[in-house]
Amino acid sequence: MLFKDFLTPERILGDLGATTKSEAITELAESFFLNGTINPGLREGVLAALFHREEIQSTALGQGFGMAIPHAKHPGVRGLVGVFGRSREGVDFASPDGQPVHLFFMLLSNRESANRHLEALAYISRKFRNREFRNCLLRAVNQAQIADFLEDSDNEE
């Protein structure tokens, strides 16, 4: 599993405007609908699935990582898709360590893609355990630099 297996450059948001958890989830999810990755008619159901997952337990990792992986499954999603977002200001995402979240990977899939969904979660989690990896994403100047960094990271695998 690599970032390029579920993420495309147009689904990299270098400067999230969200200031709340709800706004962050909505802003990230909107990128799927805006570029046609997911049918806009599924917006309400997809958002409901994402918010339901967050009600169960926050997807913020804590441990000083400053990241979250909001994710859900929805029958209308084809395969596995992702979006990356960065908030320079940080968002209160109910992280176990109480720290704001700056880096987000949102994943959506259907039930048939459950194994790929788990592989992507594991890949993202493994990458984000590396402090320098996180710092490079935080320091990136723009969306293109983030995309290049993630591609380089894939190439190291």
**Count of CB atoms situated within 10 Å of the CB of 21:** 21
Catalytic residue among 52, 71, 102, 117: 71
**Count of CB atoms situated within 10 Å of the CB of 89:** 11
Helix axes 114-128, 131-139, angle to 10 degrees: 90
H or E element: which one contains 154? helix 143-155
**Residue 71 annotated in active site:** yes
Distance (Å, rounded) from C-alpha 92 to C-alpha 20?
6
Those residues with Cβ within 8 angstroms of residue 9's Cβ, 6 or more apart along the chain or in another chain = 143, 144, 147
1 touches 151 (CB < 8 A): no
- The residues annotated with a catalytic role in the active site are 71
